Amino acid sequence: MQRFLPLIAATLAIGFASAALAQAPKPEEEIRYRQSALNVMGRSFGALWAMSQGKMPFNPQLAADSAAIVEMMSKLPWNSFGPGTDKGAPTKADTKIWSEMDKFKDKADKMQAEVRKLAQTAKSGDEAAIKAATGDTGKACKSCHDDYRLKEFRQ
């Protein structure tokens, strides 16, 4: 059952203090994990975005389900940008992240705040409000991507 390791990685993923634990995830595992969470988040946000742009029929259940996924995923990547995780696998994370960590975390916090509003709004089924909250969230995503996500993978 070694396949379920790395064990300790899981603790970081949800913000549990791991100082007392011996085994930290490897940089390539952290890179893969944050990419995974952001990929899952991006697909569900894609549905919300398509609905907000009229490219897909508005579906309140789909909106609520998608926003719940986005909300859960929005919490996960940030602890995987720790020291030493700036390289180790192909990544689009700009190295500026590690020299501007406070600014980066601030943008991540702002995105999460918008996502919380979006997820709350999505439960209401109010189409106009959901579309507006999707736009606000998209802006928060874009603000961080513009500053900290490279267009191409680097090593």
Residue range at the interface with a second copy (CB under 8 A); choices 31-39, 94-102, 111-119, 121-129: 31-39
Q: Using omega within 30 degrees of 0 as the cis cutoff, is the peptide bond preceding 25 cis? A: no
Residue of 97, 118, 122, 141 interacting with a second copy (CB under 8 A)? 141
CA pair distance 76, 85, nearest whole angstrom: 15
CA pair distance 8, 22, nearest whole angstrom: 8
Which parts of 35-94 interact with a second copy (CB under 8 A)? 35-37, 39-40, 42-50, 55-56, 59, 62, 65-66, 68-69, 72-73, 76
Per-position DSSP letters for 13-58, written without gaps between them? HTT---TT-S-PPPHHHHHHHHHHHHHHHHHHHHHHHHHHTTSS--
**Binding footprint of a second copy on the chain (CB under 8 A):** 1, 3-11, 13-14, 16, 21, 32-33, 35-37, 39-40, 42-50, 55-56, 59, 62, 65-66, 68-69, 72-73, 76, 138, 141-142, 145
